[in-house]
Amino acid sequence: MLDVHVTKHFDGFTLDVSFTTHAAVTALMGPSGSGKSQTLRAVAGAMRPDRGRIALDGEPLFDAGAGIDVPPQAREVGYVPQHYALFPHLTVADNVAFGLKPRNHPDARARVTEMLETVGLTGLDRRRPHELSGGQQQRVALARALILNPRILLLDEPFAALDTQIRHSLRQELADLQQRLGFRALLVTHDPEDVVMAGECFLYENGRVIGEPTLLEPEPAPVSG
Amino acid sequence: MALLGALRSSGGAALGEHGGTRPQHRRTTGIILLVVGALLFSLIIALPIIAIFARVLPTGTLFSTFARPIVLEALRLSALTTLCTLGLTLVLGTPIAYLLARHRFPGKAVIDSLIELPMVLPPAVAGIGLLMAFGRRGIVGEPLSALGITIGFTTVAVVLAEFFVAAPFYVRAARSAFDSVDRELETVSRTLGVSDWATFWRVTVPVAFPSLLGGAVMCWARALGEFGATIMFAGSFQGRTQTMPLAIYAAMESDLDAALVLSAILTLVSFAILVLLRISVARLGGRYA
């Protein structure tokens, strides 16, 4: 369960949103500049709201009233920004291994190999990000986040930076990956087609959630953890 | 020369087509003026450099002059002081560059301008200022000399003078380097459980590295050439404050050979810096493209 009730004033724009979701994949949909990405950043811990509360499975990540602001390092969320933000100075393998601490993960190399296989990037481990296609870059970003088994994956416009031709197949791939690994995700998009893989969808407009949530599954998908 | 050939051939082709009408004449004249201007420019820059080597190379005294104390001491002192300056600049300049790039605070514009001021300040003004601050009668110098610590006219004074004029070159480059690092990279690093401190060293610094390197090299080169502030604040004492530029000036009248050899070395080092910088920035830049 993800609870988000936050307010944040920007220059000439106010984000004031409130929603609760139980779905495995939740979509935030709306025009650009409606506050979806800022909501995602607030969950990631990259943006500090003025007021409100964010909780994951009842455990607060942020609570202005109680003075709680869990640092991003301790939130255990996987953040995949719109342009993937791959580390340009590192190889694909080093990007994926970035969050694995050698002390806690002596098997880091094996886990990276396995993860690269899972996302279909076997053999590209020594490439650098700029040598990859957009779709491959996205998979590296996914692998880098998923290897730490995050409590929730935060995807900001995951397909917006890609060509229309490969968008469709990558959408299917991500849905398959989600089914296989069973991770939970919060997805930000302006494209109605992306919402197909979501169990629940909230519509954004001018910094607010409008209307009732659209339930896209008869039952909220059960999520473990 | 290749440029000259290209200009000539394009001018020639155009002439053939139009049979030398009046606008064509004007164009040819323009090209000739361009070429003459470029040649004159190159000549004025290149001639003094050629002249130094023309005097140093044929005499055959290169190695014997090289071993003279005035040359060796100046080399040692320049290496020592510029490396100290560079180290001091990296340690003190990196945090302030990061602060200026990443944070807004009252008085930032003033600090920004203050830091760049030494880049446009005449070295003589820097020298006077340093004397008034750290000299025997200076604001800080006076209480220090009461404690038996003298800065003026010591090797420390050389480092301070070099730092004053050269550090801004690094801070300015580092500031814009940090500015241009995508903040999302750092955000992602943090969500992956990496501490802010480790994120700085594992993400920010490596991504900014080509520009940081460029700034450090420019700072070092500026320190190596420092003359005006040093001679006023530190004087010209062989083995203590007489760096290479000061030794060249001191040797001008008594030992022209030594001055020429030192000049040749400085020219070669400066040229090597520029070439290396260009190559390494291109290579590193390509890696990140």
- Span A13-31, pLDDT tens digits: 999 999 999 999 999 999 9
ipTM, two decimals, is: 0.91
A162 in a domain, yes or no? no
Flag whether residue B110 sits within 8 Å of chain A, measured between CB atoms.
Answer: no
Nearest to B274 by CA among B207, B230, B238, B225: B225
Size of interface A-B (CB pairs under 8 A): 64
CB contact under 8 A, B188 and A41: no
How many domains in chain A? 1
Q: Find out whether A205 and A190 touch, Cβ atoms under 8 Å.
A: no
How sure is the predictor about A217, in pLDDT bands with cuts at 50, 70 and 90? low
What distance in Å separates the CA atoms of residue B100 and residue B246, rounded to the nearest whole number?
A: 35
List, for chain B, all residue ranges whose pLDDT scores fall below the cut of 70.
1-21, 285-289
Query: Are A79 and B189 a contacting pair at CB < 8 A?
Result: no
> Which residues numbered 166-195 in B keep a CB inside 8 Å of some CB on A?
182, 184-185, 187-195
Rounded to an integer, the average pLDDT of A136-164 is 92
List pLDDT tens digits, range A136-146: 999 999 999 99
Q: Which of B182, B193, B288 sits opposite A85 (nearest CB)?
A: B182
Task: Report yes or no on A53 lying in a domain.
Answer: no
Least CB–CB distance from A73: residue in B182, B194, B287: B194
CATH 3.40.50.300 fits domain B62-288: no
3-state secondary structure A33-70: CCCHHHHHHHHHCCCCCCEEEEEECCEEEEECCCCEEC
Q: What is the pLDDT of residues B172-210, one digit of tens each?
A: 999 999 999 999 999 999 999 999 999 999 999 999 998
Q: Which structural domain range is residue A115 located in?
A: 92-149
Distance of alpha carbon B217 from alpha carbon A55, whole angstroms = 49
The dihedral of CA A203, A205, A207, A209: what is its sign?
Answer: negative
DSSP letters for A112-147 = HHHHHHHTT-TT-TT--GGGS-HHHHHHHHHHHHHT
At residue B166, the pLDDT reads: 96
Tokens of B282: 């291109």
Question: What was the pLDDT predicted at B10?
Answer: 46
Domain spans of chain B, in order of start: 2-59, 62-288
| Cα of B287 to nearest chain A Cα, Å | 7
Does A178 reside within a domain? no
Using CB atoms, pick whichever of B192, B206, B207 lies closest to residue A99: B192
Question: Which residue in A44, A73, A78 is closest to B195 by CB distance?
Answer: A73
pTM as predicted: 0.83
Of A166, A169, A153, nearest to A27 by C-alpha is: A153
List, in sequence order, the alpha helices (H) in B60-154.
62-66, 69-102, 108-120, 123-134, 141-146
pLDDT-derived band at A222, boundaries 50, 70, 90: low
- Mutation target vs A (from B191, B283, B287; most A CBs, 10 A cutoff): B191
Task: Dihedral sign for Cα B276, B279, B285, B286, please.
Answer: negative
- Does a structural domain hold residue A105? yes
Whether residue A44 lies within 8 A of chain B, CB to CB, comes out as yes
- pLDDT value, residue B21: 60
